[in-house]
Amino acid sequence: MKVLIRAFSILAIVSLLGQCQKIELPAPEEGTPVFSLQASLDGAPQEIIGGDSSYIMRASFFVDSAGLPVYRGTFEELDCVTNCKPSIRFSFRAAGPGPAQPDTDLRIGDYPFLAPEESSTAITYRVVFSGLHSSNAVNAPITYNWDFGDGSSSALQGPEHEYPDDAPRFVRLETRNAAGCLSSIEKEIAFEPLPIPCEVDFTLQPAQGTTPAQAVFEGPFNLYSTWGWFENDSSLVTSYPIGQLLPQQVREICLTATNTEGCQSETCKSVFLNNFQGLGYCATDFSYLASVDTTFTPVPEQFGSVWLEYIDGTGRVFNSASGPQDTMSGDFFRVISVEPFELNENGQPTEKLEVAFQCRLYDTNGQPFGTLTGTGVIAVAHP
């Protein structure tokens, strides 16, 4: 009985929307958000306001692999790469092949959902690295040697690398400067934040009075279960005396540590006598930025269709086109009004669309995820 009531309610809403006429809205006040979305995902509110809580409305346009124009609007968190707030993307496929015709492709009325037959989703796991070599003697030229932990390598200072999946990996960077000073660092990288970072570091301190030059472990020590300054050393001392250096001698000092999660990392630095008979050194470090990119390739022959994507905080994409939509049970997509808007950040014209919809979302394997329902005002771009 409840199912019948729900179906009747949804049909009533659809019928009511079908009778709606375009509503002339007053011009927004200065600072008032233009774009917004009032939606729910299986009953959980998904309210988004462009320009509020770091959300923006990004209007874009592209031509897909089949040569069809696609008009797109995305609510997303501004300048976010990982651990972002959920975003929602609307994509409108042109009514036919050829040049973009927004007057025809972006019409008022109902749109069919893009069907899942032969569509595909490709996920790319990309990491941008930035290497650092520091020395108080000779800084350039510097050579970089990366080991990405999957059999690949690079000699660039800031390489970009793609992985086949999101598994954590150990990456090693070795650098050498013009004086031949060699240093390296190895640590674990991950696409999700690690509960305890898998890396270790130490500082080099010059001799002071009767205290010799020494390498000093940088804590906090409670994050580590064991550490040592040379192979098989597990004395847990926090400093290592360097001792007297001879002219032309370069001494490598390595610290290996295992954190409380059982992950082992290593950092090696080299010391020598510089021209002023002081302590010279070289050290290596690197930072990285990991991202997950999803590319959806729709079915070529389905013209004039629409699909919705929901991207959660971990970057997983759930798509209306990865499974069937049941229009008999109330799934629909409707454009209520269309009007020109401002140029986007790329200088392209945009259209402001008032929309209403209900669709079923699926993961990349075609498994049901939830029902997304809502109304709102979005923007898409065109050439």
The yes-or-no verdict on residue 282 having pLDDT over 60 is: yes
- Residue 17 counted as domain residue: yes
**Eight-state DSSP code of residue 72:** E
Domain-embedded: residue 195? yes
Same domain flag for 325 and 263: no
Local structure of residue 102 (DSSP, 8 states) = H
Q: Are residues 308 and 366 both part of a single domain?
A: yes
Question: Is 344 in the same domain as 319?
Answer: yes
Question: Which residues are within 8 A (CB) of 63 and not within 5 positions of it... i.e. 6 or more apart?
Answer: 69, 70
The mean pLDDT value of the chain amounts to 86
- What pLDDT is recorded for position 3? 35
Beta bridge pairs of residue 241: 214
Which residue is listed with tokens 């001494």? 251
| Structure-block tokens of residue 319 | 């798509």
- pLDDT-based confidence at residue 16 (cuts at 50, 70, 90): very low
Residue 65 maps to a domain: yes
- The per-residue pLDDT for 265 is 95
- pLDDT at res. 297: 72
Residue 181 domain-assigned (yes or no): yes
Q: Are residue 222 and residue 331 in the same domain, yes or no? A: no
Q: Does residue 272 share a domain with residue 143?
A: yes
How confident is residue 219, by pLDDT bands cut at 50, 70 and 90?
A: confident
CATH assignment of the domain containing 193 = 2.60.40.10
Residues 135 and 58 both lie in one domain: no
| pLDDT score, position 30 | 43
Give the residue carrying structure tokens 């990119």.
293
* Same-domain pairing of 153 and 107: no
The residue that leads in pLDDT, 6 or 261, is 261
Identify the band that residue 279 occupies on the pLDDT scale cut at 50, 70 and 90. confident
Q: Which of 291, 325, 359 is the last residue of a domain?
A: 291
Query: Does 241 fall in a domain?
Result: yes
* pLDDT at position 232: 66
One domain, residues 324 and 249? no
Task: State whether 41 and 55 are in the same domain.
Answer: yes
In a domain, 29, yes or no: no
101 with 232, same domain? no
Q: What is the pLDDT of residue 193?
A: 85
Return the higher-pLDDT residue of 249 and 70. Answer: 70
State the DSSP H helix or E strand holding residue 13, giving kind and residue range, or none if neither: helix 2-18
314 shares its domain with 281 = no
The pTM assigned to this predicted structure is: 0.52
pLDDT band (50, 70, 90) for residue 32: low
Residue 317 falls inside a structural domain: yes
Task: Say whether both 139 and 115 belong to one domain.
Answer: no
pLDDT value at 246 more than 90: no
CB atoms within 10 A of CB 261: 13
Q: How many domains does the chain have?
A: 2
Q: Of the residues 291, 312, 334, which one is the last residue of a structural domain?
A: 291
| Structural domain harbouring 366 | 2-24+34-119+298-381
Cβ-in-10-Å burial (0-12, 13-18, 19+) of 37 comes to buried
Picking from 269, 291, 313, the residue at the C-terminal end of a domain is: 291
Residues in the chain: 383
What confidence category does residue 50 fall into, taking pLDDT thresholds of 50, 70 and 90?
confident
Return d(Cα 56, Cα 212) in angstroms, integer.
56
- Segment 196-220 shows an average pLDDT of 89
Query: Which of the residue ranges 152-161, 196-205, 291-300 would you say has the lowest mean pLDDT?
Result: 291-300
